[in-house]
């Protein structure tokens, strides 16, 4: 078991304990205008670690600060946590959903991946656009999908697809060691990536019982079981406590 898997297990176990004792702050408030939805926030209560300096910028085409940018912990006010993937992990049964025709897009911009965390659909086209005037390389390292590794000269566009669901595929650039992003691939449309306000909003779920998960690259996965009732908006909060490593 890797350190990350072990951490994920511990965080999940704590989340389940918290959920069992207090229902983890879930509540339902009637909302007749928008139909069933799950809304909420993700927070981090721990100390935000300093940016890890993973190599210095030696490429003159890259901004000097690129290598020291903290993309691992991006927080807003009151511990709101960005770059968390919130998604339905169970409860949809055998339903299938049309794959969007438009591509999901990730860019190499200023020698960083933008966005840092991207969620999209299985078999949806992923477009990787090199916006920089330097050579990049995109190298996702999945555990449940085919691994690939492509060079991208300045201005190049790579198109690829992922066939299977997988959350948290690390992506590196073999040219610039600090460049890192994470991909999340789903067979359904019920997922969101939090912004700096930590909020998420999942719409148009049919009434039923679901398992909801929140994944963060350093804090692991939290899990909650929820029930969605017709005509109601369900409010769910995820509070990561750390410890970060
Ligand atoms: Cu690069």
Query: What pLDDT digit, counting tens, does each position of 33-73 carry?
Result: 455 789 999 999 988 877 665 556 778 889 887 877 788 89
* CA–CA dist 22, 108 (Å, integer): 43
This model's pTM is above 0.85: no
**Do residues 188 and 164 make contact, with C-beta atoms less than 8 angstroms apart?**
no
Pick from 245, 121, 136: which is nearest to 189 by CA? 121
Distances in Å between the Cα of 56 and the Cα atoms of 98, 151, 180 are 43, 21, 14
CA of 176 to the centre of ligand 1 (A): 4
* pLDDT band of 31, cuts 50, 70, 90: very low
Q: Bigger pLDDT: 236 or 17?
A: 236
pLDDT at 65: 79
CA of 56 to the centre of ligand 1 (A): 13
Distances in Å between the Cα of 183 and the Cα atoms of 10, 61, 87, 188 are 23, 26, 13, 15
- Look over the chain and give the mean of its residue pLDDT values, rounded to a whole number: 86
Q: Bigger pLDDT: 195 or 54?
A: 195
* pLDDT band of 133, cuts 50, 70, 90: very high
pLDDT at 210: 96
* CA–CA dist 95, 188 (Å, integer): 9
Q: Which residues pair with 240 in a beta bridge?
A: 44
Of 3-12, 61-70, 143-152, minimum mean pLDDT range? 3-12
pLDDT at 22: 35
By the CB criterion, residues less than 5 angstroms from ion ligand 1 are 136, 173, 175-176, 179
pLDDT at 60: 87
Q: Bigger pLDDT: 243 or 229?
A: 229
CA of 111 to the centre of ligand 1 (A): 6
CA of 78 to the centre of ligand 1 (A): 33
Report the pLDDT averaged over residues 154-163: 97
CA of 195 to the centre of ligand 1 (A): 24
Report the pLDDT averaged over residues 158-165: 98
CA of 105 to the centre of ligand 1 (A): 16
Q: Is the pLDDT of residue 114 over 80?
A: yes
CA of 136 to the centre of ligand 1 (A): 4
* pLDDT band of 25, cuts 50, 70, 90: very low
């Amino acid at each position: 078991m890797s350190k990350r898997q072990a951490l994920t297990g511990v965080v999940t176990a704590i989340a389940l304990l918290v959920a069992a004792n207090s229902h983890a702050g879930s509540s339902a408030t009637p909302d007749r205008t928008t139909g069933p939805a799950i809304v909420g926030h993700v927070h981090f209560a721990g100390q935000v670690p300093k940016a890890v300096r993973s190599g210095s910028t030696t490429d003159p085409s890259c901004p000097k600060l690129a290598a020291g940018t903290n993309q691992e912990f991006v927080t807003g006010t009151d511990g709101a946590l960005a770059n968390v993937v919130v998604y339905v992990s169970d409860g949809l049964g055998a339903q299938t959903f049309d794959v969007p025709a438009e591509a999901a897009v990730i860019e190499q911009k200023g020698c960083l991946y933008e966005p840092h965390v991207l969620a999209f659909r299985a078999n949806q086209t992923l477009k990787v656009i090199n916006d920089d005037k330097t050579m990049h390389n995109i190298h996702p390292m999945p555990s449940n999908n085919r691994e690939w590794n492509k060079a991208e000269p300045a201005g190049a566009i790579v198109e690829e697809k992922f066939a299977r669901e997988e959350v948290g595929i690390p992506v590196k650039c073999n040219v610039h060691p600090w460049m890192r992003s994470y991909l999340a691939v789903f067979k359904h449309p019920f997922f969101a990536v939090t912004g700096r306000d930590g909020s998420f909003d999942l719409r148009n779920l049919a009434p039923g019982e679901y398992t909801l998960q929140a994944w963060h690259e350093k804090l692991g996965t939290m899990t909650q079981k929820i029930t969605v009732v017709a005509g109601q908006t369900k409010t769910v909060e995820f509070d990561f406590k750390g410890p970060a490593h």
